[in-house]
């Protein structure tokens, strides 16, 4: 016997050492995923925190209806993050959509070749600019200058 321990004792000790090893290896993974959520670039919007949504086009602005706001927020939350950008979009605030949140954060969305660019302006933090994709939201932004009605998911996507 090793160190005058019985087989049962050695078995229990080896299992406890293995369990401690697994926990030590898994802990950084859980910590990293929690940290990654905190610093995620594309964060979802809580529909209840939306104060106002304005659409800009050619120097004019109008606000969306509550139904359109719900649909727009749903599309934004489903959008896929593509790539972070180093520069802010020069057209932000002149065309596209501006979402004001109750926290004071402002989200500017500008059409970009069927996709869209997003600028998140948070009080006290640097602006974050990134490229995202959602077919319905991209279509909405592209058609907005013509002031066409908001489509729903049941309607087919036109090429």
- Please answer whether residues 90 and 108 qualify as being in contact, where contact means their C-beta atoms are separated by less than 8 angstroms: no
Q: Is the pTM of this model over 0.95?
A: no
- Tell me the β-bridge partners of 53: 99
Q: What is the pLDDT of residues 28-83, one digit of tens each?
A: 877 777 666 666 677 888 888 999 888 887 777 788 888 888 888 999 898 888 78
Coil vs helix vs strand at 43: coil
Q: What is the pLDDT of residues 106-149, one digit of tens each?
A: 998 888 777 888 888 888 888 888 888 888 888 877 776 445 44
Sorted by where each begins, the domain ranges of the chain are: 2-38, 47-146
Burial 4-36 (b: 16+ CB within 10 A, else e): eeeeeeeeeeeeeeeeeeeeeeeeeeeeeeeee
């Amino acid at each position: 016997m090793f160190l005058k321990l019985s087989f049962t004792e050695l078995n229990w000790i080896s299992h406890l050492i293995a369990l401690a090893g697994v926990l030590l290896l898994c802990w950084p993974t859980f910590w990293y995923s929690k940290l990654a959520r905190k610093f995620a670039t594309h964060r979802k919007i809580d529909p209840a925190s939306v104060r106002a949504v304005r659409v800009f086009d050619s120097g004019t602005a109008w606000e969306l209806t509550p139904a359109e706001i719900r649909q727009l927020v749903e599309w934004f939350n489903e959008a896929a993050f593509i790539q972070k950008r180093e520069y802010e979009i020069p057209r932000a605030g002149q065309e596209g959509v501006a979402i004001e949140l109750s926290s004071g954060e402002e989200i500017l969305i500008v059409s970009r070749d069927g996709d869209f660019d997003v600028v998140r302006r948070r009080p006290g933090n640097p602006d974050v600019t990134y490229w995202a994709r959602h077919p319905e939201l991209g279509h909405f932004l592209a058609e907005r200058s013509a002031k066409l009605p908001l489509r729903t998911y049941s309607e087919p996507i036109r090429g």
